[in-house]
Amino acid sequence: MDALTLATKPKSSDIAIDNVVLRYGKGDNAVLALDGISFHVVPNEFCVIVGPSGCGKSSLLYLVAGLEERTGGMISVGGKPVTEPGPDRGMVFQAYTLFPWLTVAQNVEYGPKRKGMSAAERRAIVEHFLHEVGLAKFANHYPSQLSGGMKQRVAIARALANDPQVLLMDEPFGALDSQTRHSMQKLLLRIWDHSKKTVLFVTHDIDEAILLADRVLVMSGRPGQIKKEIRVSLPRPRSMDLVMEPNFIAMKREILDLLKNDEDEEH
Amino acid sequence: MTLAPNATSPISHIVTTSVETNQPGRSAWKAVTTPFRAVSRPLSITLSVLVWGAVIGGWFALTYSGAVKEMFLPRPESVLSTTISMALDGSLWEHVLASVQVVLIGFVISSIVAVPLGLTMGTYRIVQAALDPLVNFIRYLPVTSFVPLFILWIGIGIEQRVAVIIFGIFFQQLVMIADSARSVQRDLVNAAYTLGTKRGDTVFHIVFPATLPNVLDVLRVTMGWAWTYLVVAELVAARSGLGYISLKAMRGFQVDVIFMAIAMIGILGLCTDQLFRGIRRLVAPWTN
């Protein structure tokens, strides 16, 4: 089996999060950022966490990636406990994190190169994923020559080119204008449909959450806890028109109320 | 009616503004007095030539009017003729070569150690904790105060001058390179981890390329300082070099030779500066 079929063949794992606690600082100054978070994301699922800013949803993602150390609890991906970052968990960040010194193609092949794949294998992978995100023509551009939306498309291609078991996305479209954001959401759904990766996606945009998710986890802040789990059974493929549908609006209202209660409790 | 802006015109942006306001004179003034606004290439060349012309013109005026005695300020043409005669008899090149050699050896030795050590220092807090207090102490010590000590330790050979240059620039390079390594965006490193970069490879694979444009700027700036310390070293103890002929010329009241030596250092500095800019364009094309 050649590299491309390996990379495009669905390979995804579950994410098990069990009673995870995250505390910053020590003694009286300690801040409890996450308090007893538990949930399970099944293989191929698109799971979205929505919550107010500062509720710890990004921290949770960094814990799954192994970029931060949890204070307590257990996280495992594909049955393997998370102890440090690794290429089995691809991540797309809110900030632009393309390597500015590498071209678009070199950015995408960075992961495969670390794995020791041959130049020919890498070329096939780069071609496939740049085509997938519609940037084949920009292979030799530097990131500084791209718009924000294009940068995030390359970041998605770069994460997928590494063939991770799960894809972690931390408000990847947060810095984009609404037009670009919509087209990115469409693109992501199409790519997810092809790759069938397990996705854990964090956002504060409720429309985005419902539009993308199989399941939405609503988080409350300080300390971060999962408040409610909402299953989104809207048919796929989904389009932007869904935002006007009654059951979409009903779900949106429910999430808004949950987040609003949270605000009221704080005051 | 004003004409449509001509994109190929060297003053195209000025024309553009005049279309908006219909007041060519005032808008050109407004354009050049707008903060951070680009200036056309012909205009910037004209300005730099004018400033140079003013400096050299002032020089002519001061010497020819007799306001300053020739013993203190030589006439421009006598500096030029001295330069030509020393270039022709070969003594100029001998001294230039001696100075360039010392600067290059000192600069290369210092940079070869400072770049990797600075990057490590900026990346690993433990290395920083160990070295920072010492480096920050040494870096404020005036290099000149060590010259007598170096002469005592290593004599007055080329090693002494090289040592002065290394001592002068190494600690500055170290601190500036560590600073730029420290300012590498954390999520860039995080992204690298999630793509399979090992912790031990972070400096080489991420920190080094991410800081490369900055590192080259640090090298360019410290190269200028190396020339300063060279002259300090050559003024005290040397048998050749541009600093040495300045000192010798002072004893013989040959002010034109001192001027020539200063001008040569300026020209060499300008050349190395351009060289570094060229290297930066070549090895860091993404910043162009």
Q: Is the pLDDT of residue A169 over 50?
A: yes
What's at B122, amino acid-wise? G
Q: Does A85 touch chain B (CB under 8 A)?
A: yes
- When pLDDT is cut at 50, 70 and 90, the band that residue B145 belongs to is confident
Pair of tokens at residue A29: 């100054």
Average pLDDT, chain B: 88
CATH of A3-266, one of 3.30.565.10, 3.40.50.300, 3.50.50.60, 3.30.420.40: 3.40.50.300
From CA A226, how far away is CA A51, in angstroms rounded?
Answer: 9
**Ramachandran angles phi, psi of A139, nearest 5°:** -50, -35
Q: Which position has the token pair 């998710």?
A: A213
Q: Which position has the token pair 């000590």?
A: B149
From CA B268, how far away is CA A202, in angstroms rounded?
Answer: 56
Residues 6+ apart with CB under 8 A from B173: B110, B111, B114, B115, B118, B218, B219, B222
Which residues 30-49 of chain A have a CB within 8 Å of chain B? none
Q: What is the pLDDT of residues A208-248, one digit of tens each?
A: 999 999 999 999 888 899 999 999 999 988 988 898 999 99
Question: pTM to 2 decimals?
Answer: 0.84
Q: Where are the domains of chain B?
A: 12-73, 80-287
Average pLDDT, chain A: 91
Q: What is the pLDDT of residues A65-83, one digit of tens each?
A: 999 999 999 999 999 999 9
Average confidence (pLDDT) over B24-33: 78
B284 or B15, higher pLDDT: B284
Q: What is the pLDDT of residues B166-215, one digit of tens each?
A: 999 999 999 999 999 999 999 999 999 999 999 999 999 999 999 999 99
Q: Does B196 sit within 8 Å of A111, measured CB to CB?
A: yes
Q: What is the pLDDT of residues A124-136, one digit of tens each?
A: 999 999 999 999 9
Q: Where are the domains of chain A?
A: 3-266
Q: Which position has the token pair 């949770």?
A: A60
Task: Give the model's pLDDT for residue B7.
Answer: 43
Of all residues in chain A, the one with the smallest CA distance to B198 is A86
**Residue B193 C-alpha, separation from nearest chain A C-alpha, in angstroms:** 6
Pair of tokens at residue B7: 């994109």
From CA A254, how far away is CA A208, in angstroms rounded?
Answer: 15
Pair of tokens at residue A192: 């997810």
What residues of A are in contact with residue B197 (Cβ under 8 Å)? 114
Q: What is the pLDDT of residues B45-61, one digit of tens each?
A: 999 999 999 999 999 99
- When pLDDT is cut at 50, 70 and 90, the band that residue B252 belongs to is confident
Going by C-alpha positions, the residue among B71, A253, A164, A250 that lies closest to residue A261 is: A253
Bridge partners of residue A23, in order along the sequence:
A32
ipTM, two decimals, is 0.92
Residue B280, Cβ neighbours under 10 Å: how many?
19
Range of weakest confidence among A181-190, A218-227, B230-239: B230-239
What residues of A are in contact with residue B214 (Cβ under 8 Å)? none
> What is the gyration radius of the CA atoms in chain B, in angstroms?
25
Q: What is the pLDDT of residues A153-165, one digit of tens each?
A: 999 999 999 999 9
Percent of chain A exceeding pLDDT 70 equals 94
Of B185, B190, B196, which is closest to A162 when you measure between CB atoms?
Answer: B196
By the 8 A CB rule, do A166 and A197 touch? yes
CATH architecture designation of domain B80-287: Orthogonal Bundle (1.10)
Which residues 145-204 of chain B have a CB within 8 Å of chain A? 185, 187-188, 190-197
Percent of chain B exceeding pLDDT 70 equals 91
By the 8 A CB rule, do A7 and A128 touch? yes
